[in-house]
Amino acid sequence: MEMTLQSNVVQPLLTDRYQISMAYAYWKNGKHEQESTFDLFFRKNPFGGEYTLFAGLEECLKFVQNYKFQKPDIDYLHKILPNYTEEEFYDYLSTIDMTDIKIYAVPEGSVVFPQIPLLRVEGSILKAQLLETTLLTLINYASLVATNAARLREVAGPNTRLYEFGLRRAQGPDGGLSASKYCYLGGFHGTSNVLAGKLYGIPIEGNHIHSYVSAFQNLDELKIRVLPDRITGASCPFVESCEKYLDELGPILKISPNQTNKGELAAFISYAISFPSNFSALVDTYNVIQSGVPNFLAVALSLHECNYKAVGIRLDSGDLAYLSMKVRANLTEIARKFNIPYIEHMTIVANNNINEDTLISLEKQGHSINAFGIGRHLVTCEKQPALGCVYKLVELNGIPRIKVSHDIEKITIPGRKSLYRLYDSGGEAICDLMTRFDEPAPTANSRLLCQHPFSETKRAYVTPSSVKCMHRLYWANGNIQHPLQTWDEVRLYAEQQIKMLRKDHRRNLNPTPYKVSVSNSLYLFLHELWLSSVPISEFA
Amino acid sequence: MEMTLQSNVVQPLLTDRYQISMAYAYWKNGKHEQESTFDLFFRKNPFGGEYTLFAGLEECLKFVQNYKFQKPDIDYLHKILPNYTEEEFYDYLSTIDMTDIKIYAVPEGSVVFPQIPLLRVEGSILKAQLLETTLLTLINYASLVATNAARLREVAGPNTRLYEFGLRRAQGPDGGLSASKYCYLGGFHGTSNVLAGKLYGIPIEGNHIHSYVSAFQNLDELKIRVLPDRITGASCPFVESCEKYLDELGPILKISPNQTNKGELAAFISYAISFPSNFSALVDTYNVIQSGVPNFLAVALSLHECNYKAVGIRLDSGDLAYLSMKVRANLTEIARKFNIPYIEHMTIVANNNINEDTLISLEKQGHSINAFGIGRHLVTCEKQPALGCVYKLVELNGIPRIKVSHDIEKITIPGRKSLYRLYDSGGEAICDLMTRFDEPAPTANSRLLCQHPFSETKRAYVTPSSVKCMHRLYWANGNIQHPLQTWDEVRLYAEQQIKMLRKDHRRNLNPTPYKVSVSNSLYLFLHELWLSSVPISEFA
């Protein structure tokens, strides 16, 4: 990963107020340098699924690397903290950086599951605590939208291309950028967002929209009326040629050539003159079948005569299953009548309120769409707009800490832990296993007891063919410890990670739960600490 | 409004790819300087409501003010556009700014409705079109979340304070900042987001969280054990005093003092020593009634003895109706027993999955909560995570343009339009009225025919007591035309705007639709253009 532009708002003050209050209270009570361990994890996979793609790590590391309170930040804190706050605290804050913090994490793009620590942050409690909110902010949405993208990728199948078109529906500028970046990670092919293309090297896509089409009224207004032949350079009478082909198309497509919208035709011609090798047309401004497609084909045939190949059409409204098949039928017919085979296979792009359910429904109905643009549902993650990552203290001064709760799933698993993924002989993941940090690592081909963390009867013996330690040390001694990968490498890794997951864990509806287990030692330890932390109620 | 820090990612490349392609096509065909008018509007109020708060204007103006392609931007465009793109186009792009664009808008914080132009952008089509995506990105989420906040404000009633706690659940860093800024606009009292406090002058709130409580194990570890009296400065034996009060509280609260969690008590004491005048405690880490509240009260009574007043408690889980009333009963009892009246009225803050429905349900059940912190539901706008603002060409070279559609509500209202709000004698809004730009303005106390834009039978005569023109010229000649208001002024304006709306339009469930109408002249004009744009289908 290269370190790319990060929004200038990612800075130490981008945090919750209580982090500052707690920092002062730790400092005031001489507790601020106590050695702590925090786990960052979530409790439930999003979208009713059984897996999550982990994302946001690069941005976290960058934030930690640049962590520094500036003078105006300290001035602002002076204003908001009580006037009896000791001056030495501000002096202390001014000096801190994250040099002596350690961050272990699973690699960006990993498939991850509930309860497992995605990040383990170690170091003085004041500093480790100060990181909480910003790390969560950087990981929650990144992981959520990457997972959303991966699920759409799974549903769309390998032959359909997917583009993220959601900038205008995102939560502001870098909500939009994050969407583009992390949807690409999740398997999308590109985005409409130009800045995302520039910053992250993601392919970008897009031609024109309805405004362009409705900006033209008729053919008279076209100032350029000729096009140089791609090979000979000879000037073709392009407008004339389009009119001629439109007349020829009438009887074949059973439409009346003089009823196609001539503003639309003018728009298509002008666009083709600008992008003769990359001509695509949005065909639904007036009427797809009566106007858009005939106008497009008239221009495509004229381009062919000048030795260019048009790319295809885009549908932005209407019944996408019906329209795409009808358009494909037209393309096929024209390809045969004019003996130009590639016309049959031109790209049909569609975007209109696409989500997982509409993709599944389109697959069932049958359609002829080659690529989808997805905006709102993708970037807002409408089905579940937040991933509930949390950041919990699990050890202090070498003593494990637990947060108990009436809700079992809200109990934290105490202490520093190691995380392993166990694989079968086919290379598919069997389950994840957390152990106490000082336990020996599990080894391949040996029988392990894997227990559900909270339910004593749920347990199984597993003999893995291979075992992988999932945590790597990413940040220590003030430096990033791993050469970071390019974004394309991260994307490829994510794709491989998903493939290592059994298909029944990945399916859209009622997937099989993937098991996250703890070692027997961790199980006993967790339950002992849990019992000792809860007072026995007294009913009088 | 002051111009405050804007994320560095708000720049001309933060746009959709097709905007760049279209810019080239306009330029290549010599059409780029044609005078255009675009309307920015939405088609449906969010959350099943009947009003929307307009927000994001300040950021739009700032974006327009700074609009400039930088050298690296142009270099990047060279890479993505076809190699036959003419070099003069890049030269042209390098020179443009938004000096000769005009932007009319309704003031930030206005109550707005479907179909009405929130912004009217006038100028050369190439430039006005280039602004589309970024303006939408800046307005969509800002308006959505401000509206969400206003609705929660309405439901919570005037005596309850509301705080935005959603940074970690937002779509990344400036999703979080936007949420804080625009929830304040919508009537929230503050945020937990420190950077939002610094940038926008919003009050910020927050004390400590569970990690702080679980970081303490027992009273022995407290290094500071005394507190200076607020008035005399004499050193009070604070830890001892807390222990003494806890023993006294046992029989009164019917709890066993040695069963309260002593790590929790240590955490509360250390926090009170750090913030003696601002002590609040999160009381649900172990058990609210058996542990949290008795520990809190022991500290509060000790503070009282040293002439400080504790502030209150916070609940982060459990049954908020039941617990808040139970806590209030405890506070009341202790206030009376110790004859310290303010204890009865201490603040109870609650935050646990709060949304419109839970607020309504809490009101019905009865509760004793003074303030709510709201995170996920507020910032993700879970009930409807996107507002569908669009940006449509309505006039070109003085000729009105229309976008027709099979869906009536997707048809655009063509031409430059004026926008008026008509009020009754009580100062409440009756309806909005759009007219053609060259029509005379409607006047107070004269009878006007107001028509539904698409349905010929829906029309009414209105005799308004006052009429307000809603559009102001905000941007012209390269300058912001109005001195912008402070954010607190904008917030106050929004509050007044909501008050001018009849209560039945504002109610949570099945509100009365607010009418947006057109003048008879605009109605006739719209329908004539509409008919002439749609070809008559031919069934053979």
Q: Residue B491: give its domain's CATH number.
A: 3.20.140.10
Given A132, A174, A389, which is nearest B172 (Cβ)? A174
Q: Is residue A290 part of a domain?
A: yes
How far apart (Å, rounded) are the C-alpha atoms in residues B244 and B225? Answer: 14
Contact B171 A141 (CB under 8 A): yes
Residues A293 and A389 in one domain: no
Last residue of one domain, picked from the residues A307, A328, A350: A350
Tell me: pLDDT of B452 over 80: yes
**CB < 8 Å to A167, chain B:** 14-16, 133, 137
Which residue from B minimizes the CA distance to A253? B540
Residues A420 and A499 in one domain: yes
Q: Among the listed ranges A302-311, B172-181, B413-422, which one has the minimum average pLDDT value? A: B172-181
**CB < 8 Å to A25, chain B:** 208, 212, 270-271, 274-275
Contact B16 A207 (CB under 8 A): no
**CB < 8 Å to B223, chain A:** 29-31
Rounded to an integer, the average pLDDT of A507-523 is 95
How far apart (Å, rounded) are the C-alpha atoms in residues A80 and B197? Answer: 9
Q: What is the DSSP string of A281-311?
A: EE--SS-IIIIIHHHHHHHHHHHHHTT----
Which residue from A minimizes the CA distance to B260? A535
pLDDT in tens, B470-520: 999 999 999 999 888 999 999 999 999 999 999 999 998 899 999 999 999
Q: Which of B19, B71, B194 to mutate to test the interface with A (most CBs of A within 10 A)?
A: B194
pLDDT at B85: 97
Last residue of one domain, picked from the residues B332, B350, B368: B350
Which one, of A235, A258, A317, A376, lies nearest residue B407 by Cα?
A: A317
Residues B388 and B528 in one domain: yes
**Sorting pLDDT into bands at 50, 70 and 90, what band is A526?**
very high
**Sorting pLDDT into bands at 50, 70 and 90, what band is B410?**
confident
How far apart (Å, rounded) are the C-alpha atoms in residues B412 and B399? Answer: 14
Q: Is residue B8 part of a domain?
A: no
Looking at this protein, which amino acid is placed at residue A335? A
Contact A29 B533 (CB under 8 A): no
Q: Give the burial string for B95-106 (b: 16+ CB within 10 Å, else e).
A: ebebeebbbbbb
Tokens of B211: 């990690």
Task: Output A530 or B444, whichever has higher pLDDT.
Answer: B444
pLDDT at B173: 83
**CB < 8 Å to B212, chain A:** 22, 25-26, 129
Residues A133 and A57 in one domain: yes
Q: Is residue A145 part of a domain?
A: yes
**Sorting pLDDT into bands at 50, 70 and 90, what band is A531?**
confident
pLDDT at A4: 56
pLDDT in tens, B315-349: 998 899 999 999 999 999 999 999 999 999 999 99
Task: Output A536 or B288, whichever has higher pLDDT.
Answer: B288
Question: Chain A within 8 Å of B340 (Cβ-Cβ)?
Answer: no
**CB < 8 Å to B168, chain A:** 16, 133, 136-137, 140, 389
Question: Chain A within 8 Å of B343 (Cβ-Cβ)?
Answer: no
Q: Is residue B186 part of a domain?
A: no
Which CATH number belongs to the domain containing residue B321 in this structure? 3.20.20
pLDDT at A461: 96
Residue B105 near residue B135 (C-beta atoms within 8 A): no
**CB < 8 Å to B254, chain A:** 540
Which residue from A minimizes the CA distance to B133? A168
Residues B346 and B275 in one domain: yes
Question: Chain B within 8 Å of A200 (Cβ-Cβ)?
Answer: no
Tell me: pLDDT of A99 over 90: yes
Contact B21 A410 (CB under 8 A): no
Rounded to an integer, the average pLDDT of B371-388 is 93
Residues A388 and A525 in one domain: yes
Residues A335 and A394 in one domain: no
Tell me: pLDDT of A3 over 50: no
From chain A residues 280-339, the ones with a CB under 8 A of any chain B CB are 285-287, 290-291, 317-318
Question: Chain A within 8 Å of B381 (Cβ-Cβ)?
Answer: yes
pLDDT at B7: 74
Given A80, A142, A195, which is nearest B197 (Cβ)? A80
**CB < 8 Å to B73, chain A:** 198
Last residue of one domain, picked from the residues B298, B333, B350: B350
Which one, of B216, B204, B206, B222, lies nearest residue B302 by Cα?
A: B222
pLDDT in tens, A402-453: 877 667 778 889 999 999 999 999 999 999 999 999 999 999 999 999 999 9
pLDDT in tens, B224-282: 999 999 999 999 999 999 999 999 999 999 999 998 999 999 999 999 999 999 999 99
Question: Chain A within 8 Å of B78 (Cβ-Cβ)?
Answer: no
Q: Is residue B2 part of a domain?
A: no
Tell me: pLDDT of B89 over 80: yes
pLDDT at B236: 95
Residues B394 and B526 in one domain: yes
Rounded to an integer, the average pLDDT of B78-83 is 95
pLDDT in tens, A260-304: 999 999 999 999 999 999 999 999 988 999 999 999 999 999 999
Residues B346 and B388 in one domain: no
pLDDT at A539: 64
Question: Chain B within 8 Å of A531 (Cβ-Cβ)?
Answer: no
Residues B131 and B256 in one domain: no
Give the gap in angstroms from C-alpha A6 to the nearest C-alpha of chain B: 8
pLDDT in tens, A100-133: 999 999 999 999 999 999 999 999 999 999 999 9
pLDDT in tens, B209-225: 999 999 999 999 999 99
**Sorting pLDDT into bands at 50, 70 and 90, what band is B193?**
very high
Looking at this protein, which amino acid is placed at residue B421? R
Question: Chain B within 8 Å of A136 (Cβ-Cβ)?
Answer: yes
Give the gap in angstroms from C-alpha A303 to the nearest C-alpha of chain B: 16
**CB < 8 Å to A408, chain B:** none
Alpha helices in B29-115 (DSSP H): 57-65, 71-80, 87-95
Given B204, B224, B259, which is nearest A29 (Cβ)? B224
Question: Chain A within 8 Å of B397 (Cβ-Cβ)?
Answer: no
The mean pLDDT of chain B is 94
pLDDT at B3: 46
Contact B171 A175 (CB under 8 A): yes
Q: Is residue B66 part of a domain?
A: yes
Residues B388 and B324 in one domain: no
**CB < 8 Å to B210, chain A:** 392, 403
Strand partners, A236: A227
Cα dihedral B482, B485, B491, B497 in deg (nearest 10): -30
**Sorting pLDDT into bands at 50, 70 and 90, what band is B403?**
confident
Name the domain count of chain A.
2
Rounded to an integer, the average pLDDT of B139-152 is 97
The three-state secondary structure class of A152 is helix
Q: Among the listed ranges A308-312, B54-58, B168-172, which one has the minimum average pLDDT value? A: B168-172
Q: Is residue B477 part of a domain?
A: yes
Long-range CB contacts (< 8 A, 24+ apart) of A332-338?
A333/A252, A333/A253, A334/A249, A334/A252, A334/A253, A334/A297, A334/A301, A337/A252, A338/A301, A338/A304
pLDDT in tens, A213-263: 999 999 999 999 999 999 999 999 999 999 999 999 999 999 999 989 999
Contact B18 A174 (CB under 8 A): no
* Phi, psi for A415 (deg, rounded to 5): 85, 165
Contact B174 A7 (CB under 8 A): yes
Q: Which of B125, B171, B314 to mutate to test the interface with A (most CBs of A within 10 A)?
A: B171
Residues A346 and A390 in one domain: no
pLDDT at B401: 87
Contact A171 B141 (CB under 8 A): yes
Range of the domain at A23: 19-149+384-504+514-533
Percent with pLDDT over 90 in chain B: 89
pLDDT at B532: 81
Which one, of A420, A421, A425, A419, lies nearest residue A465 by Cα?
A: A425
Q: Is residue B423 part of a domain?
A: yes
The mean pLDDT of chain A is 94
